[in-house]
Structure 1
Amino acid sequence: MLNHLVREIGLETLLRSSWDVHLLCFQRFARMFAYGQTTIIFTFFFIALGINEEQVGLFMSYTLVGDMVMSLGMVLVADRIGRRKILATGSMLMCISGITFSYTSNFWILLAAAVFGVISPSGNEIGPFKTIEESTLAHLANLETRSELYAWYNLLGGIGLALGTVSSGWIVQILQDNYGWSTIGSFRCIFVLYSLVAAVKFLTSILLSSKVEQHAKHSQSEEGESDDMDSQEEDPLLDSLSNSETEDLMSSVQSDQQPGPLSEPPASTSSKARWKGIVPKLSSQSRKAVLPLLLLFSIDSFASGIASQSWISYYFSERFDTKEGTLGVLFFVTNFVSAASSLVAAPLARRLGLVKTIAFTHLPSSVFLTTLGFPSSELFAMTLLILRSCTQRMDYGPTQAFVSAIVLKDERTSVMGIVNLVNTLAQSVSPLLVGRLARLGLMPMGFLLAGGCKIVYDISLLAVFIGQKFHDN
């Protein structure tokens, strides 16, 4: 029974995976731990600096838009420059950003640090990390085991987020109550810890092997091709050409013998070629699947931005006067439960299929979200939040496996980057709205809107993609 359970939850797949897979999962854990530490205090930090709710929402929107542009550029060149280099560079920027938040109070300097240094304003994934890691996991695993690896990837991320929130809440409360630290001083301590975690993440990035790069799987075939080319070089050149190609070659040689200026390719042509090398070109089959999926993802991401952990923390603090330590415990429970529930997604996906698993597991959490703002009891509201977490992230693994399976192998990194771009763009609108609602005391209406959008997403996804074909590559 124990062996069956280990296989059923995908633990056997994880344990038998390569060292690179383990490092990627650890990076996800460390990064989400850092995000979890800052998400509890993010809104409170700016309120303590004298910035009102609408300005905080504006800051979050600016951060997400700026991060979207930066991440897109990094993701599009990741396979050309190297995935390890991009992950290591992002980790260094995280470290610099945490140090900046721990020393300055200037709004615009903090904004620049949040954009370029990948500070998550909501506790959700931002930056190029998730896109590159998901593409790399798909690169290292086949379609049968991919969903299980994604489940553990998300589980470890959820555990990291849970530990980050609970540690942050209690560190802040203990520093203030037992050691007399100021509110801002205790918050800055968290950003110092953020930098230390980023430094650890940098070390794990440079330990990844060359197998994580896009060209790794082509090395064997390229060797075979080079052998064929070497054998072809022994044949006469003209024998390897067709008749028309031979005539073209001879005419070009004759024209080269005529005096005249040397011809060069137009600058516009070379610039266009370089641009095409960076901008992703999708197959027609991939475009048909990706375009409606992006629309649905944008609806879901807009709703997620309204119900982010930063704003939920603010809501509980304002309505029920909940302390940081209690908020840390609450989000530890919700994040841990949602992370553990992701293990159930892998066996469900094997039985129901990816699309049904995504829709059926995500729908209950959407319903609970619509009712989150109405209870007058703190305990009842916390119960609804915990119930929501039971299936909140159960769809993450199947969704990642679904996206990686509907596009071709060489398109994965770019497509996942585009998905991340659209999600971030849609989510960047949400803080402006929720900041206004918070200032007017109407956050329950925000939760109702967010839950309704997610319900539309669940039903539409099931209706559009129920018969989608997958690529096993």
Structure 2
Amino acid sequence: MAALKSLGHRAFRESGLQSVYTTGLDAYLIILSRSCRMFAYGASSLILALFFAELQFSDYQIGLFMSLTLLGDVILSLCLTLVADHVGRRRTLFLGSILMICSGTTFALCENYFVLLAAAVVGVISATGGDFGPFRAIEESTVSELTNPDTRADVLVWYVTTASLGSAVGTTTSGRIIDWLSAREGWTLLDAYHGCFWLYAIMGLTNMACSAMLSERCELKKKAPEGGSGETAPLLQETTDDGVAKPKEKASWVSQISRETLAIVGVLWFLLMVDSLADGMVSMSLTTYYMDKKFHLPKSTLGDMLSTSYILSSVTNIFAGPLARYIGLVNTMVFTHIPSSTAVLLFPLPKTISLTFALLLLRVGLNNMDQAPRAALIAAVVKPEERTAVMGITGMLRTLASTTGPSITGVLAGNSRFWVAYVVAGALRLAYDLGLFALFINIKLHKHEPAGEPTGEERREADEEEPLPTLTSI
């Protein structure tokens, strides 16, 4: 019995669930919020391109719409993340949720191309199935604030894992709702698409409720002055020639990023833009459209295929935390991403649905294992007060790079060269993987973390002395 209890305790710790448990309610709310949002994104990614095709929009218009939507996400994300630490992270997330509700409602009621475009650009609509809006950067920065270096990767892993699960449930739910509604008397396929977008608005309401319940712990902690008084110092400080920190005369509403940080993340930003350009060319919306044109599958089948892929992604993501602890953040990012990139490169080759599905499983199943290590890597190389801004700019640049992808694919699809997009995208993703490994494998981590945090070994020794939490205590 003792051996079984010890095994359960070890599994609880190694899976990262203990880190999530010790982080507390705010972590639960952030994870729930992301899961519900990715449910909405998964549902929309299945039907968005099909929705526009049903409205008789051309392939070029579909690609242009997705590019302009991503461009709107760039502007919105940049504006909100740069001021989030000053305005308040919880308020910023609340505002983003309202925009998400407005966008979902517009898509559920309207059919005009330009009205839908305005709603997608000004509001929050996922054109690719990815989380490129303002939410993710703020949430990842908040998780970094709530955790220490030893628990951060574990909590971020579950943040990503449950998001993949949300996408899986969203895609399969969307496909089945479309088939069910379109089979009802008096309902057309277009009516079914409209009805499905109400899920998007409902998930926006859930996000709004979660952001309203977050505590003050989620906000950026102000640095206390070295004199030891109870007052807090301004967030932004400058250092004199003799090494003494003093507050700036006027605090800025916009977060500042040091040259030291820019020298490191500038290279990472370039590599991530290469990867995001590739992802934009073969997004989940465009992939379902490609498979629909190639194999003419029922929408429920498409939804089930994507859902299975996302479920596999959820399972594999659980191993990202232990892998990052044992082989390092960069190694985990690279070695899990290369097989996914290879699957993208080979995706057009199979002539049967079974082999195509196998490559889809490989691509999606391993695609997100680098997300949590990437966020932990950024948090480990920048100052705490720079995290929200850096993560926001990271998301903005990735989205900006993605904006050209759908338009390129739209042109290729219109000229019967859809398959070329997958070959180019796969090659770009592999270039990102190799560049990341070459340039970041020896980077120094946690230079700006506060001293005194327990090491992994110290935490494991302390955990062995603590009883395993019971269901009642949880």
Q: How does the TM-score come out when normalised to structure 1? A: 0.87
Matched, 1:209 2:215: yes
Are 1:59 and 1:111, in contact at CA under 8 Å, matched by a contact in 2?
yes
1:398 aligned partner: 373
1:287 aligned partner: 262
| 1:284 CA drift (Å) | 2.7
| 1:441 CA drift (Å) | 2.0
1:28 aligned partner: 34
1:461 aligned partner: 436
Matched, 1:389 2:364: yes
| 1:223 CA drift (Å) | 10
1:329 aligned partner: 304
Which residue, out of 383, 388, 395, partners 1:408?
383
Matched, 1:443 2:449: no
Are 1:118 and 1:126, in contact at CA under 8 Å, matched by a contact in 2?
no
2:351 aligned partner: 376
Matched, 1:470 2:445: yes
1:358-369 correspondence runs (5 A): 358-369=333-344
Distance 1:228 1:420, change over 3 A: closer
Matched, 1:139 2:114: no
| 1:165 CA drift (Å) | 0.3
2:274 aligned partner: 299
The CA deviation string for residues 2-36 of structure 1, in whole angstroms up to 9 with x for no partner, is 22122111011112221111100000001000111
Matched, 1:343 2:318: yes
Which residue, out of 279, 291, 300, partners 1:316?
291
Are 1:131 and 1:417, in contact at CA under 8 Å, matched by a contact in 2?
yes
The CA deviation string for residues 257-300 of structure 1, in whole angstroms up to 9 with x for no partner, is xxxxxxxxxxxxxxx997x8244432232111111000000000
In 2, the alpha carbon distance for the partners of 1:105 and 1:12 equals 47
2:466 aligned partner: none
How many equivalent residue pairs? 428
Matched, 1:124 2:130: yes
* Secondary structure in structure 2 of the residue aligned to 1:51: coil
* Secondary structure in structure 2 of the residue aligned to 1:74: helix
Corresponding letter in the other structure for 2:117: L
Corresponding letter in the other structure for 2:79: G
Corresponding letter in the other structure for 1:317: D
Corresponding letter in the other structure for 1:86: T
Corresponding letter in the other structure for 2:145: H
Unaligned runs of at least 5 residues, structure 1 = 230-271
Unaligned runs of at least 5 residues, structure 2 = 1-6, 234-247, 451-474
Are 2:273 and 2:398, in contact at CA under 8 Å, matched by a contact in 1?
yes
In 1, the alpha carbon distance for the partners of 2:138 and 2:365 equals 27
Are 1:300 and 1:454, in contact at CA under 8 Å, matched by a contact in 2?
yes
Distance 1:221 1:167, change over 3 A: farther
* Secondary structure in structure 1 of the residue aligned to 2:109: coil
The two structures, once aligned, show a CA RMSD in angstroms of: 1.9
1:422 aligned partner: 397
1:434 aligned partner: 409
1:14-93 correspondence runs (5 A): 14-93=20-99
In 2, the alpha carbon distance for the partners of 1:187 and 1:292 equals 41
Which residue, out of 219, 225, 230, partners 2:229?
225
1:232 aligned partner: none
| 1:221 CA drift (Å) | 6.4
The CA deviation string for residues 205-249 of structure 1, in whole angstroms up to 9 with x for no partner, is 11111111113x64x7699424799xxxxxxxxxxxxxxxxxxxx
| 1:116 CA drift (Å) | 2.0
Q: How does the TM-score come out when normalised to structure 2? A: 0.87
1:155 aligned partner: 161
| 1:126 CA drift (Å) | 2.0
Corresponding letter in the other structure for 1:404: A
2:3 aligned partner: none
In 2, the alpha carbon distance for the partners of 1:363 and 1:212 equals 34
1:352 aligned partner: 327
In 1, the alpha carbon distance for the partners of 2:232 and 2:112 equals 62
Q: Percent identity over the alignment?
A: 37
Distance 1:406 1:84, change over 3 A: same
Corresponding letter in the other structure for 2:51: F
In 2, the alpha carbon distance for the partners of 1:164 and 1:425 equals 26
Are 1:132 and 1:413, in contact at CA under 8 Å, matched by a contact in 2?
yes
Distance 1:389 1:66, change over 3 A: closer
Corresponding letter in the other structure for 1:457: Y
In 2, the alpha carbon distance for the partners of 1:228 and 1:364 equals 48
Corresponding letter in the other structure for 2:171: T
Are 2:225 and 2:232, in contact at CA under 8 Å, matched by a contact in 1?
no
Corresponding letter in the other structure for 1:148: D
In 2, the alpha carbon distance for the partners of 1:447 and 1:122 equals 15
In 2, the alpha carbon distance for the partners of 1:92 and 1:58 equals 25
| 1:180 CA drift (Å) | 4.8
| 1:389 CA drift (Å) | 2.5
1:262 aligned partner: none
1:165 aligned partner: 171
Larger radius of gyration: 1
Corresponding letter in the other structure for 1:329: D
Corresponding letter in the other structure for 1:371: L
